[in-house]
Amino acid sequence: MENLIALLIAAPLLGAAVLLCGGRRLDAVGQWIGTLLSFASFAFGVVLFADLLGKDPEQRTLTQHLFSWIQVESFQADVAFRLDQLSMTFVLLITGVGSLIHLYSVGYMEHDERRRRFFGYLNLFLAAMLLLVLADNYLLLYVGWEGVGLASYLLIGFWQHKPSAATAAKKAFLVNRVGDMGLSIAIMLMFLWFGTFAFGPLLGGEGEPGMVGDASEGKLTAIGLMLLLAACGKSAQVPLQSWLGDAMEGPTPVSALIHAATMVTAGVYLIVRSGAIFNAAPDAQLVVTIVGAVTLLFGAIVGCAKDDIKKALAGSTMSQIGYMVLAAGLGPIGYVFAIMHLVTHGFFKAGLFLGAGSVMHGMNDEVDMRKYGGLRKYMPVTFVTFGLGYLAIIGFPGLSGFFSKDKIIEAAFAKGGTEGWILGGCALLGAAITAFYMTRVMLMTFFGEKRWQPDENGNEPHPHESPKVMTIPMIVLAVGSVAAGFLFNWQSSFIHWLEPITGHDHGHAPLSAGVITGATVACMVIGVAIAYGQYGRRPVPAVAPRGSVLTRAARRDLYQDDFNHVVLVRGGEHLTRSLVYVDHTLVDGVVNGTAASVGGLSGRMRRLQNGFVRSYAVSMFGGVAILIAATLLMRAV
């Protein structure tokens, strides 16, 4: 059964290779090849899942050693896979949601000439993401990490003829490099201090303590912070969050798959996977929770002000991942809930993005919500599925977001002490803002009067429902959005499933669970009510009003790009200029000066060679005199 693990990755990898190397012959069927191989990978995942369920909870770790990759003295890196409950969860999410989005893309990208290439990139992404979550050591994980970065870059910039898309791809790539540096430094530190980066010996497991158990807290804090930096880059957490909004330039299925459901959660995976390190480094954990809390508010505030439907959803993604990171930073109290929220978020956020894509598909690719309005009549299926996703994300009781988010808020309070109160308060506030901005999106898109106008060519959009190939994935995801939370909570099944890997701790909540749940629901209702007051009862202006200071700041992503520009870009430019100056004057000066002086010396010495035998003889005579004198002198001293 272990041998199936490699096939999980091999199927989409094969698809990528075939589609990207296959040439134009495959243009007609390329999308189906990609989709088929994605579903094949999902099927392998389901088989493996069934196999795992049949085993004892303690026996559910499968490993597959494929080959020895690099072996230099004690530096040993293997291509080996580990399938346990944590990676299994990810495998099902990635291949399941991924396959649905492949299917959806068949309809969405129908008219795109470079469709084959698009599906090749999607398959490449699946393979890299699976490699990331299945790797048995950090170095191989790093390969997958870079692989998803590459796929993300290629897909954000897929419509490369648009300068904005090309720029966004570049920006995502560059910001991610900063995080990648963190991961590579963390791996180097692991090798330096522990001599290995394999999960088993390093982190322990199956009752065995790993090497990190004996390490000093300082070392683990350093590694933990570097891992957090990596997670911030990939998961768009403050301060490396700036790329996610721009990444919405990519085709909408890409936003759904990569920038909502899967890749951006890689950071959460990394932190949960490295739980053994963070558990032993409380300082690093505290930083993780702070990053999570700041980001969940940051993303939520940004989401409130965006008129671009995808950017509003991107802000929401950032915010929801903030919840996950916050939960992951809480340690064993939160790991399970981080992953649970990750999965439910995968369902409803993918569904929301696909819904947004469906709306854009019907509205001539218009993204400005101020030009929507009243679409519920034109797109009933999209409206219902989007609506269910909306209810899930705001935490409507009974739907999946309610269960997972509520647990995270509880866990935050359960952290205890002042920290617990602050973190829990932030999480509650975030829940209220979430309800506000999601209600805003919902109202501006599907309710109120129609606000679309003919464009300059006189083409008026004719909103219409999307084809079945697009609506079916949306329906499936909507079902997941509704049911997942309940299923996961049924007899704490999800906790029991993940507990052997992540451990679980109930913590000491200062308030009873009922009180917190009540507060969460109350916050949600307040958020919805404010949004309804602002956008439901009053007509939405077609042109955005100037807004308050906070609104304007949020529209500009809270000045994150301005900050980056002033501090990093300008600073970098100044640094570069001064280095260039030093290079030109000092380094080149020394080099050229040396060359010039050697050349000058050469010219002068050359004149000694005047062609006269008498001069040569004199020089020989002088030479032998010096030779003799030197020999005698050596004896004298």
Partner 1 sequence: MSTSAVHSLWTNAADPILKIDTPKIEYGQLSPTLIVVGAAIVGVLIEAVVPRKARYYAQVFVSVVALVAAFAAVVALAAGGYATTKSGIAAMGAIAVDGPALFLQGTILLAGLVGLFTFAERRLDPEAHGNRVDSFAAQAASVPGSDSEKAAVKAGFTTTEVFPLLLFAIAGMLIFPAANDLLTLFIALEVLSLPLYLMCALARRKRLMSQEAAVKYFLLGAFASAFTLFGIALLYGYAGSVSYATIAQVVDGTVPDVSPALADTMGNDALLLVGAAMIVMGLLFKVGAVPFHMWTPDVYQGAPTPVTGFMAAATKVAAFGALLRILYVVLPGLRWDWRPVMWGVAIVTMLGGAIVAITQTDIKRLLAYSSIAHAGFILAGVIATTPDGVSSVLFYLAAYSFVTIGAFAVVTLVRDAGGEATHLSKWAGLGRRSPLVAAVFAVFLLAFAGIPLTSGFAGKFAVFKAAAEGGAGPLVVVGVISSAIAAFFYIRVIVLMFFSEPKPEGPTVAVPSPLTMTAIGVGVAVTLVLGVAPQYFLDLANQAGVFVR
Out of 218, 398, 416, 623, name the contact with partner 1 by CB under 8 A: 623
Q: How far is the CB of 124 from partner 1 (least distance, A)?
A: 38
Stretch that binds partner 1, among 14-22, 329-337, 364-372, 627-635 (CB under 8 A): 627-635
Which candidate, 108, 88, 91, places its Cα nearest to that of 155? 108
Q: How far is CA 438 from the centre of its chain?
A: 22
Indicate the burial class of 181 (C-beta count within 10 angstroms; 0-12, 13-18, 19 or more). middle
Q: Are 46 and 4 within 8 A, CB to CB?
A: no
Cβ proximity to partner 1: between 3 and 610 the closer is 610
Q: Does 619 bind partner 1 (CB under 8 A)?
A: yes
Q: Are 267 and 321 within 8 A, CB to CB?
A: yes
Q: Does 632 bind partner 1 (CB under 8 A)?
A: yes
Out of 111, 161, 537, 635, name the contact with partner 1 by CB under 8 A: 635
The residues, any chain, with a CB within 8 Å of residue 367's CB and separated by 6 or more, are: 308, 309, 310, 311, 360
End-to-end CA distance of the chain: 83
The residues, any chain, with a CB within 8 Å of residue 387's CB and separated by 6 or more, are: 442, 446
Out of 487, 567, 590, 627, name the contact with partner 1 by CB under 8 A: 627
Q: Does 593 bind partner 1 (CB under 8 A)?
A: no
Cis link prior to 239 (omega < 30° from 0)? yes
Cβ proximity to partner 1: between 541 and 611 the closer is 611
Which x/- pattern over 549-588 shows residues binding partner 1 (rule: CB under 8 A)?
----------------------------------------
Stretch that binds partner 1, among 138-146, 166-174, 360-368, 594-602 (CB under 8 A): 594-602
> CA–CA separation, 79 vs 13, rounded Å?
15
> CA–CA separation, 602 vs 600, rounded Å?
5
Out of 3, 74, 491, 602, name the contact with partner 1 by CB under 8 A: 602
Out of 53, 513, 550, 620, name the contact with partner 1 by CB under 8 A: 620
Alpha-carbon distance values, 611 to 354, 604, 616 (Å): 88, 15, 8
Q: How far is the CB of 63 from partner 1 (least distance, A)?
A: 43
> How many residues lie near partner 1 (CB under 8 A)?
28
The residues, any chain, with a CB within 8 Å of residue 474's CB and separated by 6 or more, are: 104, 351, 354, 355, 358, 381, 382, 385, 386
Cβ proximity to partner 1: between 455 and 588 the closer is 588
Q: How far is the CB of 590 from partner 1 (least distance, A)?
A: 14
Q: How far is the CB of 621 from partner 1 (least distance, A)?
A: 8
> CA–CA separation, 23 vs 21, rounded Å?
6
Cβ proximity to partner 1: between 559 and 616 the closer is 616
Q: Does 613 bind partner 1 (CB under 8 A)?
A: yes
Q: How far is the CB of 215 from partner 1 (least distance, A)?
A: 42
> CA–CA separation, 441 vs 422, rounded Å?
28
**Other Cβ atoms closer than 10 A to 387:** 16
> CA–CA separation, 442 vs 313, rounded Å?
11
Stretch that binds partner 1, among 248-256, 271-279, 299-307, 619-627 (CB under 8 A): 619-627
Strand pairing partners for 82?
Answer: 63
Alpha-carbon distance values, 260 to 97, 248, 299, 454 (Å): 11, 10, 13, 32
Cβ proximity to partner 1: between 580 and 626 the closer is 626
Stretch that binds partner 1, among 166-174, 200-208, 479-487, 610-618 (CB under 8 A): 610-618
Out of 160, 364, 512, 615, name the contact with partner 1 by CB under 8 A: 615
Q: Write the DSSP string, 513-552.
A: HHHHHHHHHHHHHHHHHHHIIIIISSPPPSS-----HHHH
Strand pairing partners for 77?
Answer: 70
Q: Are 276 and 203 within 8 A, CB to CB?
A: yes
Q: How far is the CB of 594 from partner 1 (least distance, A)?
A: 10
Cβ proximity to partner 1: between 25 and 635 the closer is 635
> CA–CA separation, 551 vs 535, rounded Å?
15
Cβ proximity to partner 1: between 192 and 636 the closer is 636
Out of 518, 533, 589, 622, name the contact with partner 1 by CB under 8 A: 622
Stretch that binds partner 1, among 35-43, 272-280, 379-387, 625-633 (CB under 8 A): 625-633
Q: Does 596 bind partner 1 (CB under 8 A)?
A: no
Stretch that binds partner 1, among 69-77, 354-362, 482-490, 605-613 (CB under 8 A): 605-613
Q: Does 513 bind partner 1 (CB under 8 A)?
A: no
Cβ proximity to partner 1: between 549 and 637 the closer is 637
Which candidate, 190, 295, 313, places its Cα nearest to that of 232? 295
Cβ proximity to partner 1: between 522 and 595 the closer is 595
Positions touching partner 1 (CB under 8 A) are 595, 598-599, 601-603, 605-606, 608-609, 611, 613, 615-617, 619-620, 622-624, 626-628, 630-632, 634-635
